[in-house]
Amino acid sequence: MNHSLNRRNFLKSSGLATATIPAWFLEYRRSMAVTPPPLSANDRPALALIGCGGQGRGNASRAAKFADIVAVCDLDERRLTEALKSNPKAKKYTDFRLLLEKENIHGIINGTPDHWHTLINIAALKAGKDVYSEKPLTLTIDEGKRLVNVANQTKGILQTGSQQRSEERFHLACELVRNGRVGKLTDVLVNLPAGPRGGPFAKAAVPTELDWDVWQGQVASTDYVAEKCHGSFRYWWDYSGGTLTDWGAHHNDIALWGMGLDRSGPVTIEAKPRVEMIPGGYTAFSEYEVHYEYANGVKQVTQSVAENGPDGREFKKADPGKFLHGVKFTGTDGWIFVTRGRIEASQPEMLTTPLPTQAQRLYASSNHMGNFIDCMRSRRPPICDAEIGHRSVSVCHLGVIALRLKRKLQWDPVAEKFKEDNEANAMLSRTMRKPYNYNYFA
């Protein structure tokens, strides 16, 4: 693939573009994927929701098919009120540590901002609770290593909320690529939506219903800025990594799954921002280009694509009114592209021809939350366990570090450290403001 990123040729081929999932694969999914049935009133696990924003409440709603939401926790009284409307019998908390002391809670749904994920997930696992955690799983690679160790030690179930693994098209694309349908895999292109480039922003009065100090958690305390909180927190490097760690945690996860490297990572990373951020505004790079190379020679480009720019217009020609981002696997025999609601291939038979009986099969899940509940009961690993979630976001974190350093980096995916690079290795963790560090729940 041309790494000058010629997007005009991105979707050109002589083959078929289709959103139809072939019948042979649907039949296979029906025979393999396990979704637990709705349970009786006496046979439903009790879950607590920590982080009651829109994503958290959505996850709780999906969980309610299989479990009971018995507690809700948030630092914003308005969000607690919203969560209680859907879960009127739930007990409300503002301190997750008190919630985790309750023996009648079997698991949690972690819908907090990224910088709170790890502390809450570790505390829950140590308290004997299973965890469904929103992605990106961590704020740093060091956090991920710690979390994986705790998950292994406690043998708790942790499902990362990378729900694309439980969707048919992504499963199909990865299974086809893993079985050589595109020939020898050579390149992977991951397109992500560009983030906002706003600012400068003015400080404001802290809303009376919000505990701003605790919300900031491990991050150095600053004046309240409305654009830092809730839905836009992910565009600040302090709390997240922009769309590279947000949507990137989804699509880079699929890239690794298709490559068969979802418990590993790249060996080199090189990145450049396409625009500089505005002083006093968002601090996570909004437009970027990251190049990865893996030990097997596969090259990956993860890039932002601006919906209203030339890239976005080009994609809209292929699908008017719709902005395409997703993952394209290219090999010696053709390519497969997948995104939500759409899968395409350079030749129709790549999708329509069934895999042979001896083909390599991937973990099949027809419902991501249902898979978590099923694994709570069976104790088998979920489809996106702690290590997979950690490795997927590690690719994103590596890109963020390369963007900030603006030079090529050498990575050891086994040791999970940069090679002879103290400056880069120092960025694998961050200083945590007391008391919001690993002693917060000791």
- In terms of domains, do 128 and 205 share one? no
Position 377 in a domain: no
**pLDDT value at position 38?**
57
Position 127 in a domain: yes
Q: What is the pLDDT of residues 307-341, one digit of tens each?
A: 654 444 444 445 433 447 899 999 999 999 999 99
Domains identified in the chain, total number? 2
Tell me the two tokens of residue 28.
């296979």
* Distance, CA of 18 to CA of 342 (rounded, Å): 7
Q: What is the CATH number of the domain that holds 310?
A: 3.30.360.10
- In terms of domains, do 246 and 107 share one? no
Burial 407-422 (b: 16+ CB within 10 A, else e): eebebebeebbbeebe
Domain range for 333 is: 7-31+165-365+386-428
Position 301 in a domain: yes
Band the pLDDT of 407: cuts 50, 70, 90: very high
Distance from the Cα of residue 124 to its chain's centroid: 20
Give whole-number Cα distances, 163 to 154, 295, 398, in Å.
Answer: 24, 27, 22
* Distance, CA of 128 to CA of 156 (rounded, Å): 7
- In terms of domains, do 201 and 334 share one? yes
- In terms of domains, do 153 and 203 share one? no
**pLDDT value at position 30?**
86
Domain boundary among 129, 146, 162: 162
Band the pLDDT of 34: cuts 50, 70, 90: low
For CA atoms 45, 48, 54, 55, give the dihedral sign.
negative
Q: pLDDT > 70: what percent of the chain?
A: 89
For the segment 418-431, the average pLDDT, to the nearest whole number, is 98
- In terms of domains, do 129 and 203 share one? no
Position 438 in a domain: no
Question: Which residues make Cβ contacts (< 8 Å) with residue 112, sequence separation at least 6?
Answer: 50, 51, 56, 120, 134
**pLDDT value at position 307?**
61
Band the pLDDT of 152: cuts 50, 70, 90: very high
Residue type at 377?
R
Position 374 in a domain: no
**pLDDT value at position 306?**
77
Position 436 in a domain: no
For the segment 51-67, the average pLDDT, to the nearest whole number, is 97
4 pLDDT above the threshold of 90: no
Q: Quick one: which of 190, 152, 176 has its CA closest to 350? A: 176
- In terms of domains, do 316 and 205 share one? yes
Lowest mean pLDDT among 7-11, 25-29, 65-69, 122-126: 7-11
Q: What is the CATH number of the domain that holds 111?
A: 3.40.50.720
- In terms of domains, do 124 and 208 share one? no
